Amino acid sequence: MSISIIIIIISRGCKLTSLRGGLQMKTDEVKILGDINPDRLKKSLEVKNQILNRDRQVEDIVKNHLEIIILSMLSERPMCGYDLIKEIFAKYNVFLSQGTVYPFLYSLKEEGILKAEFLKGDMRTKIYSVTQEGKQIIEKRVYEFIEVTEYFLNSIRKIGSYV
């Protein structure tokens, strides 16, 4: 049996406003589906929910472990705050505001782990890089993070059958 319905799948970040007798949507990503099998619709929505749930979990992990992510990225190469935000978005599809990233950079600089230098000819852009002392601290923190994470993953694997 096939039912003729219209479904609008809305991506994160869109805005719905009600009008007389309908809805107006402001978004770039709208998909309209025509005749669809109810079982296929249910399966499609389940898959969409799984993807959204995974995206939320990734976002939570990134935000809860932002310091270690920033440290590991800056260990690879010096960057400004804006480049860190872009890189995190590219790798994890998580958008962070400047107000989230810069306090970490300032406190890591105060701890002596990072240093900040202006680009030649550009007194607005600070490039953050790891100090000599910071390299050892970062190495230790990354090692500890991996050790603790592996401990939790192993205990979860024991509980579930996710081997």
User: Radius of gyration over alpha carbons of the chain, in Å?
Assistant: 22
Where is average pLDDT lowest: 22-31, 60-69, 115-124? 22-31
How far is residue 133's CA from residue 137's CA, in Å, rounded to a whole number? 7
CATH number, residue 153: 1.10.10.10
Instruction: Answer whether residue 138 is part of any domain.
Output: yes
Measured over the CA atoms of residue 16, residue 13, residue 5 and residue 52, the dihedral's sign is: negative
Count of C-beta atoms within a 10 Å radius of residue 85? 19
Domain contains 66: yes
Q: What integer pLDDT is reported at residue 52 of this predicted model?
A: 76
Domain span at residue 116 reads: 61-159
pLDDT tens profile 125-143: 999 999 999 999 999 999 9
62 neighbors 70 (Cβ within 8 angstroms): no
Residue 85 lies in a domain: yes
In angstroms, the CA 161 to CA 60 distance is: 24
Confidence category of residue 3, pLDDT binned at 50, 70, 90: very low
DSSP summary character for residue 155: H
Total structural domains within the chain: 2
